[in-house]
Amino acid sequence: MIPGSRDVLLVIDVQVDFLPGGALAVPEGDAVIAPVNRLLGLFPHAVLTQDWHPPEHVSFAASHPGGIAFDTVCLAYGSQVLWPEHCVQGSAGAELAPGLASERAELVLRKGHHPAVDSYSAFLEADRRTPTGLAGYLRERGFTRVVLCGLATDYCVAWSALDARAAGFEVLVVEDAVRGIDHAGSVARAWAEMAAAGIGRIAAGAIAGYTALP
């Protein structure tokens, strides 16, 4: 693959709280930073997303009496996993990862800021009705292919990829520039769902100009 003018790199939620030691750490989450930076240097256009929750967000276990992290509850818009408090607006944990080449992005999209609705996808809130505006932005810019990387494979990356495909974009996920939470086999399920939707899977080394770590 040769990145071109109609391609956009979409970097999902590479934030402090998702790195080792963070409030909702993704195993080996910090391993994506170096490959993501290399990709940011190759793609002419890039967008970053940033989880940006208000305090007492509906997805936090602490917002529900007796709530336990990783349990599932039923909310007005459907099933919701309860999470530890993470990526609270203005907190150190919500910051983009140290060392991430965020200056190369043309847009930083903040999601999950509605108090009563979660947001995994960069395109639609978890109620599956409220758009973030990203699809319109990408169309207006003339992009036709979205290449995803970041955190976490089985949640925000997969949901974003599936919604990008449903919005009519060609979609690729860089398999060695993502990491997953992998709760009860969730990573394998996510890859299967993406494949069934026609989403491609590519190694970073198959992207022209990419140099692997020494």
CB atoms within 10 A of CB 90: 10
Residue tagged active-site, from 17, 149, 156, 163: 156
Query: In which band, very low, low, confident or very high, does the pLDDT at 212 lie, cut at 50, 70 and 90?
Result: low
Which residue's structure tokens are 């319109």? 136
Query: In which band, very low, low, confident or very high, does the pLDDT at 47 lie, cut at 50, 70 and 90?
Result: very high
Which pLDDT does position 193 carry in this prediction?
A: 98
Alpha-helical runs (H) found in the chain: 33-42, 134-141, 158-166, 186-196
Q: Hey, is 72 helix, strand or coil?
A: strand
- Any catalytic annotation for residue 118? no
| Average pLDDT over all residues of the chain | 94
120: which 2 tokens? 């995994």
Residue tagged active-site, from 111, 118, 154, 163: 111
12: which 2 tokens? 């999902």
Please provide the distance, in angstroms rounded to a whole number, between the alpha carbons at the two ends of the chain. 22
Which pLDDT does position 182 carry in this prediction?
A: 92
**Which domains, from first to last, does the chain contain?**
7-55+87-206 (3.40.50.850)
Query: In which band, very low, low, confident or very high, does the pLDDT at 213 lie, cut at 50, 70 and 90?
Result: low
Residue tagged active-site, from 13, 17, 118, 163: 13
Q: Give mean pLDDT, residues 43-63.
A: 93
What is the Cα–Cα distance from 19 to 31, expressed in whole angstroms? 9
- Any catalytic annotation for residue 87? no
Q: What single-letter DSSP state applies at residue 19?
A: S
% of the chain residues with pLDDT over 70: 99
- Any catalytic annotation for residue 7? no
Determine which of 62-71, 184-193, 200-209 has the lowest per-residue pLDDT on average: 62-71
What is the Cα–Cα distance from 61 to 119, expressed in whole angstroms? 15
